[in-house]
């Protein structure tokens, strides 16, 4: 899925207008200029995490979990310092899953530069919607 399609899918899932989305997302600080520049390129997991996290924070008022300590089970959490909080927040909220690279379990990896197929991404978006719904209850 491309970045552009991901952003449109996210907004559709929340029932929001997606016309002129880049201008609004950039203005409101939950999209980066690179999202517009690379809108036709496949979306990496770290960017999906960032967009979901910042959309929930900026547009839906979902404040950050205070501690990301429990996300340190992800071996690559600190491999990208600008991604760490985005990844931790969506992982700890159960929106995006980690990958377990060991047969016996326990080697958890977020796979920052990896890409997910459409079904998986749609599930993450569904969970993002659920997160907001549950926060309102």
12 or 69: CB nearest another protein: 69
Scanning residues 54 to 113, which ones bind another protein (CB under 8 A)?
Answer: 54, 57-58, 63-64, 66-69, 72, 78-82, 84-85, 88
Residue 20 found at the interface with another protein (CB under 8 A): no
Element (H, E) at 99: strand 99-100
- Reading the block at residue 10, the tokens are 């996210």
Q: What is the spatial distance between Cα 23 and Cα 79, in angstroms, rounded to a whole number?
A: 30
Smallest gap, in angstroms, from Cβ of residue 27 to another protein? 8
**Angle subtended by helix axes 84-92 and 45-59, to nearest 10:** 80
Smallest gap, in angstroms, from Cβ of residue 119 to another protein? 26
Q: Are 96 and 90 in contact (CB under 8 A)?
A: yes
Q: What is the spatial distance between Cα 86 and Cα 16, in angstroms, rounded to a whole number?
A: 22
Residue 41 found at the interface with another protein (CB under 8 A): no
Region binding another protein by CB under 8 A among candidate stretches 8-16, 32-40, 117-125, 129-137: 32-40
**Angle subtended by helix axes 3-13 and 118-136, to nearest 10:** 40
Query: Which chain residues interact with another protein by CB under 8 A?
Result: 26-27, 29, 32-34, 37-38, 54, 57-58, 63-64, 66-69, 72, 78-82, 84-85, 88
């Amino acid at each position: 899925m491309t970045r552009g399609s991901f952003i449109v899918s996210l907004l559709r899932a929340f029932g929001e207008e997606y016309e002129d989305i880049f201008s609004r997302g950039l203005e409101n600080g939950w999209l980066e200029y690179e999202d517009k520049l690379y809108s036709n390129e496949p979306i990496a997991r770290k960017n999906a995490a960032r967009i979901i996290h910042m959309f929930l924070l900026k547009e839906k008022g979902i404040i950050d979990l205070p501690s990301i300590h429990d996300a340190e089970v992800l071996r690559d959490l600190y491999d990208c310092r600008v991604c760490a909080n985005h990844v931790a927040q969506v992982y700890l909220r159960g929106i995006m899953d980690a990958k377990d690279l060991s047969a016996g379990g326990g080697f958890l990896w977020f796979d920052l530069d990896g890409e997910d197929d459409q079904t998986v991404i749609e599930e993450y978006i569904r969970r993002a919607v659920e997160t907001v719904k549950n926060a309102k209850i």
